[in-house]
């Protein structure tokens, strides 16, 4: 990783500052902060996903600060201007496992002098971290808002097997079945876990800026074929209904996949939710750092290496107030069949609402920041009264 000295200023709205916090679980953590002018405010923690940054929260932070909150949004481990993590494919994968990301979040709010936060709010992969924060430490994370990625609960332990004949755990046949389709396919999370993925994203023929433009466009409401619906099961035939940014053509990498959906120059010029001036900050940061830090998160999941420690919490539910916010044009709600329903039925016992916002795809807090801000403030105020 390159050092963070002499980095350019971040194009932030008024009221948000950029700073570093040392000694957070081995990290020098870069943080965006709002509502810092007065002490004693209740805290909210915002956790971004992939391929994003703390900067992804720039449009909702002023509203949350205006509602009376101390708002903290870090570049998480593996991202942006936060340093102290190992960006090598063959490096320390264990440091990116979910429970260590919870430890990062816990260390950060503690460093700011907060014994608890009113809410932890996570988007995309940050939603998984937020869910685990609320499940493992409900005394600290007193409510949780999950965005664009629902949570099904901890992985279950084998049950009532004492008299059964021991058998090795079967592998997931879906990958072989996807590859055997008439149009052979592969799942993006397993592609992101390959050694080649970082180079594909970091050195694409179109450049990092145009790769990110096409990627963000393809997963947004601007791509008119994003018309999500529940899938019937985790089968190749059902998963093949997902857009190619989730279930890819087997011979193509992600840069090639999204290049086919690159918006026109006129569409880029007319994009109000992510103008090129703002996209340029993302592309400059990822050009500097590469993508491997974020890709390590996917590897932790697909490898299965850290599932046993998550099974320690088998059967536990999220019992603090929770809500879910996503775009109506976001396939992320349904990409894992049954998870959206399980979140509401069993994983979260005090869910106050699921909000699917029309006119938004996956990047909901950037595509519809005013409505997201309104929903989050209403959720926080309702929690304060309970």
SS (H, E, C) 249-271: ECCCCHHHHHHCCCCCHHHHHCC
CA distance 306 to 304: 6
Q: Which among 260, 288, 299 has a CA at the least distance from the CA of 95?
A: 299
Q: How confident is the model at residue 385 (pLDDT cuts 50, 70, 90)?
A: confident
Q: What is the pTM of this model?
A: 0.97
User: Between β-strands 119-123 and 144-147, what pairing exists: parallel, antiparallel or unpaired?
Assistant: parallel
Q: What is the average pLDDT across 177-203?
A: 98
Strands 351-357 and 322-327: parallel
Contact 67, 378 (CB under 8 A): no
Mean pLDDT across 3-14: 83
Q: Crossing angle, helix 276-289 and helix 207-218, to 10 degrees?
A: 120
pLDDT mean over 25-33: 98
pLDDT digits (tens, 9 = 90+) for 122-138: 999 999 999 999 999 99
The answer on pLDDT for 298 being more than 70 is yes
Sheet order of strands, 70-74 included: 16-24, 27-34, 70-74, 43-47, 119-123, 144-147, 322-327, 351-357
- pLDDT score of 2 more than 70: no
Pick the CATH number of 16-155+313-385 from 3.30.565.10, 3.40.50.1820, 2.30.30.90, 3.40.50.720: 3.40.50.1820
* Residue range(s) occupied by CATH 3.40.50.1820 in the chain: 16-155+313-385
Statement: residue 170 has pLDDT above 90: no
Q: Are 127 and 147 in contact (CB under 8 A)?
A: yes
Kindly report the average pLDDT of the chain as a whole number.
96
Up-side HSE of residue 124: CA atoms within 13 Å toward CB? 23
Q: According to the model, what pLDDT value does residue 166 have?
A: 82
Question: Cβ distance 16 to 54 under 8 Å?
Answer: no
Taking a C-beta distance cutoff of 8 angstroms, is the pair 13, 369 a contact?
no
pLDDT band at 375 (very low <50, low <70, confident <90, very high): very high
Structure confidence at residue 169 as a pLDDT band (50, 70, 90)? confident
Could you give the percent of the chain with pLDDT greater than 90? Answer: 93
pLDDT (0 to 100) of residue 386? 67
Please name the residue ranges forming H helices in 112-196: 125-136, 174-179, 188-192
DSSP 161: -
pLDDT band at 1 (very low <50, low <70, confident <90, very high): very low
pLDDT in tens, 319-355: 999 999 999 999 999 999 999 999 999 999 999 999 9
Is the pLDDT at 4 greater than 70? The verdict is: no
Q: What is the Cα–Cα distance from 305 to 32, expressed in whole angstroms?
A: 32
Q: What are the structure tokens assigned to 320, written together?
A: 């603090």
Average pLDDT score over residue span 76-100:
97
**Average pLDDT of the residues in 3-24:** 90
């Amino acid at each position: 990783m390159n050092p963070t000295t002499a980095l350019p200023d971040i194009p932030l709205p008024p009221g948000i500052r950029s700073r570093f916090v040392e000694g957070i679980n081995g990290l020098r953590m870069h943080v965006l902060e709002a509502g810092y002018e007065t002490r004693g405010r209740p805290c909210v923690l915002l956790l971004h996903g992939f391929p994003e940054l703390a900067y992804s929260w720039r449009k909702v932070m002023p509203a949350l600060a205006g509602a009376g909150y101390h708002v903290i949004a870090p570049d998480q481990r593996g991202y942006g201007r936060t340093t102290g993590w190992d960006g090598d494919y063959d490096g320390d994968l264990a440091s990116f496992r979910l429970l260590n990301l919870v430890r990062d979040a816990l260390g950060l709010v503690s460093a700011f002098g907060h014994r608890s936060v009113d809410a932890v709010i996570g988007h995309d992969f940050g939603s998984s971290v937020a869910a685990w924060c609320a499940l493992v430490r409900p005394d600290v994370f007193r409510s949780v808002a999950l965005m664009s990625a629902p949570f099904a609960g901890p992985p279950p332990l084998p049950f009532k097997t004492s008299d059964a004949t021991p058998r090795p755990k079967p592998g997931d046949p879906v990958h072989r079945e996807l590859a055997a389709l008439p149009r052979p396919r592969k799942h993006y999370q397993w592609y992101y876990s390959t050694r080649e993925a970082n180079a594909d994203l970091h050195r694409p023929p179109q450049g990092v800026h145009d790769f990110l433009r096409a990627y963000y466009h393809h997963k947004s409401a601007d791509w008119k074929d994003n018309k999500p619906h529940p899938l019937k099961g985790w089968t190749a035939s059902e998963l093949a209904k997902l857009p190619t940014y989730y279930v890819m053509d087997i011979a193509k990498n992600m840069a090639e996949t999204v290049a086919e959906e690159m918006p026109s120059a006129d569409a880029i010029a007319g994009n109000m939710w992510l103008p090129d001036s703002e996209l340029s900050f993302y592309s400059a940061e990822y050009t500097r750092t590469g993508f491997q830090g974020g890709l390590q998160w996917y590897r932790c999941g697909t490898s299965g290496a850290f599932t046993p420690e998550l099974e320690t919490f088998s059967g536990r539910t999220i019992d603090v107030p929770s809500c879910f916010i996503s775009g109506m044009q976001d396939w992320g709600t349904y990409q894992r069949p049954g998870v959206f329903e399980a979140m509401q039925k069993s994983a979260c016992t005090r869910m106050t609402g699921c909000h699917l916002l029309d006119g938004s795809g996956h990047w909901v807090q950037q595509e519809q920041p005013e409505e997201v801000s309104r929903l989050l403030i209403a959720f926080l105020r309702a929690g304060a009264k309970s």
